[in-house]
A and B are shown apart, each in its own frame.
Chain A
């Protein structure tokens, strides 16, 4: 079974600085998707960025980028020029690319990010 680990329960960053959130996962599959979700105090789950395992190029979305290391099974999220609105819980997630009737997403425990003005 696949597992997702986030070793940093809490992180903080100064406004306008850069922060990196860590994620590691365990799988025996070769093809899969990885995601970072953001959950602000409003509770809504928001997809931040996704990465397909067969793509070597790291995904980027504006100020958000990932460092995907497939061999190390590592998927870290870098937030550049941090803003107050980035304060949230961040979840790393995994989904197999093998489409079956048991298709579902597996989540890590989350990292709570605070942004200091």
Chain B
């Protein structure tokens, strides 16, 4: 099925550990995004990539890095995890056209940092 594939679905890290969240889309979308979701705060943009080879900071980029490996893949890396990064993370993609139906989301990653 066409869509956004996000891995892993669950992860527990110890403070200071590093990890990479993977995201891939097969819809040939130009733009890809990483959000975090925290109770009462909705979805906050961490980083985005408007096109292959470009990345930009969103609202809450501190503590994260991203890589747009190719048009399909956009990864999010936590270099030294902190308890404040405990959250649910969503990857999304978007195509630039006038009939756009909004984002297509991955299924999310629940990350706990202890």
- Rounded to whole angstroms, the CA-CA distance of A88 and B35 in the bound complex is 19
Tell me how many residue pairs across A and B have CB atoms closer than 8 Å: 58
Across-interface contacts of A93 in B (CB, < 8 A): 102
Known: A99-B97, A101-B51. 12 other contacts (CB 8 A): A9-B40, A33-B100, A43-B88, A43-B108, A45-B90, A91-B43, A99-B96, A103-B94, A104-B31, A105-B92, A105-B94, A109-B41
Question: Mostly helix, strand, loop or mixed at chain A's interface?
Answer: loop
Known A9-B40, A44-B108, A91-B43; contact A104-B102, beta-carbon cutoff 8 A: no
Does B43 contact A50, Cβ atoms closer than 8 Å? no
Interface, chain B (partner A; CB < 8 A): 31, 33, 40-43, 45, 48, 50-51, 54, 56, 58, 88, 90, 92, 94, 96-98, 100-103, 105, 107-108, 110
- The total of chain A residues at the interface (CB under 8 A) is 23
Across-interface contacts of B58 in A (CB, < 8 A): 104
Q: Of B33, B42, B94, B103, which is within 8 A of A110 by CB?
A: B42
Does A104 contact B105, Cβ atoms closer than 8 Å? no
Known A43-B107, A108-B42; contact A50-B102, beta-carbon cutoff 8 A: yes
